[in-house]
Structure 1
Amino acid sequence: MHTKFADFGAILSRHATARPEAIAIKEGEMTWRYGDVQRYTNALIRLLRSIGVHRHEVVALMVPNSGAFVVAFFAISDSGCVVAPFNIRYQQQELRYYIEDTMPAAIIISPELRSTVAAAMEGIAQPPAILTVDNDGHAHILNAPNRATGGTTGPFDPGKDYLLLQYTSGSTGAPKRIYRTHEQLLLELEQLQSAFELEPSDRFIGVAPFSHVNGLVRTMMASMYVGGTLYPMASFDRRRALDIITNERITYFGGVPYMFVLLADTPMRGQVDLSSIRVAFSASAPLLEPDNRRFCAKYGIAVRQLYGSTETGTISVNLGGDPLERPESVGTPLSGVLIEVIDDRGLELPANQEGEVVISSPWAITAYEGNERATEEAFVDGKYRSGDLGILDQENYLQLTGRKKFMINRGGFKVNPLEVEKAILSMDKVSEAVVVGQVSRFGDESVRAVVVAGETCDPDEIIEHCRARIADYKVPSVIEFRDELPKSQTGKILR
């Protein structure tokens, strides 16, 4: 397939040549122009070559959202290597797992992570080289052991050469490797530019972690793709985010639900003006309608729901008109994407019937690397069985209704946890809730709700509230109160 750029590295080369003085990144007091990013990238490429890193090898990247991350990403890409972004919150044991699984030729880290990385690599037979990249973009070699190269030579093929190695969350077992090619990612970026009508004048706030597909592809890579300006935040701070959006006239804000909830709950201090934002979307988990309406009431911006996954990239976004007219919809598929809803027999369902969401897309993977069993379970005829339940209406708008694997079997009746959660969250006293199945000693399941209440609330009150709204077999029989619910880095509640 034809793409506007030959490979991801060509993006920087074009912008740095045509617009070297254009601002690529603003980070605190630092300003990086496209020419600066190119110079720092070239310097890091030379370092990688000097320690024997070859094309097609994996290079891990463990750096927070920053200009340094962007430089390192481009340097790995331009070296013909595969980028494996690691979460900066990984601790020793989990980091060791990913190092041993990816077997990177090198790992590029921020200086403050040296002790964590060193501890994780103790006893590894063939440890990767370690490089640090400072906040100003300067890179240094910490350790470069002698090793046999795993790289290969041969002509570059953007349709076959991998750019990115990421992992699924591993909620159903060990994390699964996902490789995506230059061409797949460039096709996705092309469609994002078209869908959001992105221009070089756009200003992107980078709040979602760049180690995750949402922050990486839909913000960092999208910004660089169009030649825009990126404002990365190493960690999300709601007041600083409001200041950046207000003072820098941010136009593009891609976040996750908890960010919009926090901002909706933030007391107004000083001048806050979000009127410059023309693209605001939430991904990675559903943004509830009441939270979206509170955010809109406060700032005058309705947030659009976006749907995608690590396996598929971006699939759909609610672009039509006012997103609050279809608040629970994740919109229509991007151009080139096919969404189907199937029943338990694998047969496509007519419009407005609930079933499993199945996806095919030019930028989606069709297999998990080195995992035939998981591939057979998740892919059929090149299509990805998402495990998400949804309804596709006659206008091709998709609404997600739950997760197939999370369905609770209560005496033969299927209970959708999201439906129960929605009933509980309609209580003013409840701020968060998650519903799960609890297996009894007899082997059947009951409905258990874990709740965060903003004020005094008792279990009977919640149960009676639910009885008035959902069938009796869906009403929780166990209510547990917590001060907070555990969440992933992207804001998903960890069931």
Structure 2
Amino acid sequence: MPAVPAPTDRSADQSHGSPDQSHGSPSPQYGIPDLLTATAARCPEHPVLRLDEEVLGYAELDARSTRAAHWLTALGVVPGDRVAVLLPNVPEFAVLYYGILRAGAVVVPMNPLLKAREIEHCLADAEAALLLAWHAGAEQAVEGARRTRTRLVPVEPADLAAALARQPAGPPENGGRGGEDTAVILYTSGTTGAPKGAELTHRNIVCNIRAGVQVLGLVEGDVIFGGLPLFHSFGQVLGLNCAVSVGACLTLVPRFDPLGALSVIQRDRVSVFLGVPTMYTLMLAHPQRAGHDVSSLRVCLGGGASMPPEVLRGFETDFDCVVLEGYGLSESSPLACANRGDRERIAGTVGIPIEGVRMRIVDESGKEVPDGTVGEVVIRGHNVMKGYWRRPDTTARTVRDGWLHTGDLGTRDERGDFRIVDRRKDVIIRGGFNVYPREVEDVLYEHPAVAEATVVGVPHPTHGQEVAAAVVLREGTSATPEEIRGFVRERVAPHKYPRLVWTVDALPKGPTGKILKREVVVPEEEAGRLGN
């Protein structure tokens, strides 16, 4: 199995270093667009973005984004303005992303699948000066902008290219922003209320880029799979920005499907794959997998949710590459912790904190707990967000004494490796006993007929909550709910196995492919068994 190039300049004990050290990270005044300028000067003709047959080089992206800054200024954008971007994974996203930053403004990336009321909320909350929306299917954007009286500019490739061609080529005046200035506002998924905007500074992101490059061992000429949405922190920071920082190429995939992903890996000789567990699961199980040449893959990074150990091991074996698991969230820019290719990896763990970042496991009072004990994951370092946009009270509750309280439950072992057990809100309390869905899901994935699974808690008149599992079967296999229930029952404690099991054609997923537990619906026939 190929090894990941060893990261360099990493402290020996990151989990216990000073929380405020940057360990040689770029100057606080160093901005995100400077990465593009430096790489374009070093390798101007190298490809930076590819979308099928369309290829954009570094010099061209640098020039277009500079002209985009002038274009935005002509539209009335001033430094500090928030500019919303509602685009799929297309080259124009990168042109406008760096253009907005070069104009000194703040990027507010949004999911192009949002409905009008969701767009309205983000635009109003950010007080966006402008909305740049993809021209195709823009009805929801038009309505959301109308409700907030936000100026909307449709983005159509030919029209944008013509508009940029009329702009000056030189760098814009007074567009530069300092490292502590806000660069991006990322709206969280809002599972516990209305979406909140996490403010990330230029320094937050530049330091996270540096850490991502080290973890992945990225080098000039790498080809990175760009199937994660660019409006999301994972795809934006660890995909687009990490590629730009080293001279790699990001091959864009506007909509993920496993067969298409295998074809792109083969066609473009992808060497680095970034994805959520669902992507790995679907590619690994695809019946046409063997017909594709995936030998170019060197290293993969999984995030967004915990990857079942069976999937991780199967992918490494079948694709002959290294799969690293990482952990983070929008509020941590996003990477906080990751496995390393140059140290022993234990399936199910997310490794050690990135350089310059500390992590702890604490109890409800904030006191650090002994190794092996479940508690809340807290993070401190250069990756912790500036705060939630104009929500000082929420920020104060989330970031306490410099520590970001994630709401995730985890453990740390004697080696310093962290394991994410579950979201605090997802823990099932059955008859007074805690049941962590992740543990039960890992067992479900061991069943040969199970392709995907999710475990949720449902109200129960006696036990408080009951354990329930929705399962997708592998193509060409069969298994009854009773068989699956019995399989798990033999492998976990009596209070943990799911009394309710049902099969579905597909599980509800978010834009990154992450399974949405909150949208899992218990069938009536299963719900009727709860009182029995």
Fold conserved between structures, TM > 0.5: yes
CA displacement at 1:281 relative to structure 2: 0.9
| Deviation per residue, 1:319-352 (Å, 9 max, x gap) | 14587x5111111111111011112332112222
Partner of 2:202: 182
Say whether 1:492 aligns with 2:510.
Answer: no
Unaligned 5+ segments in structure 2 are 1-21, 165-172, 518-532
Distance 1:50 1:156 in 2: 17
CA displacement at 1:57 relative to structure 2: 0.3
Partner of 2:526: none
Root mean square deviation of aligned Cα: 2.5
Question: Given the superposition, is the C-alpha separation of residues 305 and 237 from structure 1 closer, same or farther in structure 2, using an over 3 Å criterion?
Answer: same
More displaced stretch, 246-255 vs 268-277: 268-277
Which residue, out of 492, 496, 513, partners 1:474?
Answer: 496
User: Would you say the 8 A contact 2:207–2:382 is kept in 1?
Assistant: yes
Partner of 2:231: 211
Say whether 1:8 aligns with 2:32.
Answer: yes
CA displacement at 1:6 relative to structure 2: 2.1
Q: How does 1:267-306 map to 2 (within 5 A)?
A: 267-268=287-288, 272-306=292-326
CA displacement at 1:493 relative to structure 2: 1.3
Distance 2:128 2:223 in 1: 33
- The SS at the match of 2:387 is coil
Distance 1:294 1:135 in 2: 44
Distance 1:418 1:130 in 2: 43
Distance 2:289 2:399 in 1: 50
More displaced stretch, 370-379 vs 19-28: 370-379
Say whether 1:29 aligns with 2:53.
Answer: yes
Partner of 1:117: 141
Partner of 1:89: 113
Question: Given the superposition, is the C-alpha separation of residues 204 and 457 from structure 1 closer, same or farther in structure 2, using an over 3 Å criterion?
Answer: closer
Partner of 1:420: 440
Say whether 1:317 aligns with 2:338.
Answer: yes
User: Would you say the 8 A contact 2:84–2:132 is kept in 1?
Assistant: yes
Partner of 1:145: none
Unaligned 5+ segments in structure 1 are 142-152
Partner of 2:383: 363
Which residue, out of 332, 335, 353, partners 2:355?
Answer: 335
Say whether 1:192 aligns with 2:215.
Answer: no
Question: Given the superposition, is the C-alpha separation of residues 80 and 155 from structure 1 closer, same or farther in structure 2, using an over 3 Å criterion?
Answer: closer
**Which amino acid is 1:128 matched to?**
R
| Deviation per residue, 1:425-479 (Å, 9 max, x gap) | 3322333222222223568222222233344433433333333222222232333
| Deviation per residue, 1:242-261 (Å, 9 max, x gap) | 23322332222111111111
Give the TM-score normalised by the residue count of structure 1: 0.90
- The SS at the match of 1:113 is coil
Question: Given the superposition, is the C-alpha separation of residues 429 and 31 from structure 1 closer, same or farther in structure 2, using an over 3 Å criterion?
Answer: closer
Partner of 2:408: 388
CA displacement at 1:23 relative to structure 2: 2.1
Give the TM-score normalised by the residue count of structure 2: 0.84
CA displacement at 1:179 relative to structure 2: 0.6
Which residue, out of 151, 157, 169, partners 1:134?
Answer: 157
Distance 1:210 1:92 in 2: 20
Using CA pairs below 8 Å that are at least 6 residues apart, which structure has the higher relative contact order?
2
CA displacement at 1:40 relative to structure 2: 1.8
Question: Given the superposition, is the C-alpha separation of residues 203 and 135 from structure 1 closer, same or farther in structure 2, using an over 3 Å criterion?
Answer: farther
Question: Given the superposition, is the C-alpha separation of residues 303 and 439 from structure 1 closer, same or farther in structure 2, using an over 3 Å criterion?
Answer: same
User: Would you say the 8 A contact 1:133–1:140 is kept in 2?
Assistant: no
CA displacement at 1:234 relative to structure 2: 1.3
CA displacement at 1:354 relative to structure 2: 2.1
**Which amino acid is 2:371 matched to?**
A
Partner of 2:455: 435
| Deviation per residue, 1:65-104 (Å, 9 max, x gap) | 1211110111101000000111111122222222222221
Distance 2:509 2:390 in 1: 29
Distance 1:162 1:40 in 2: 23
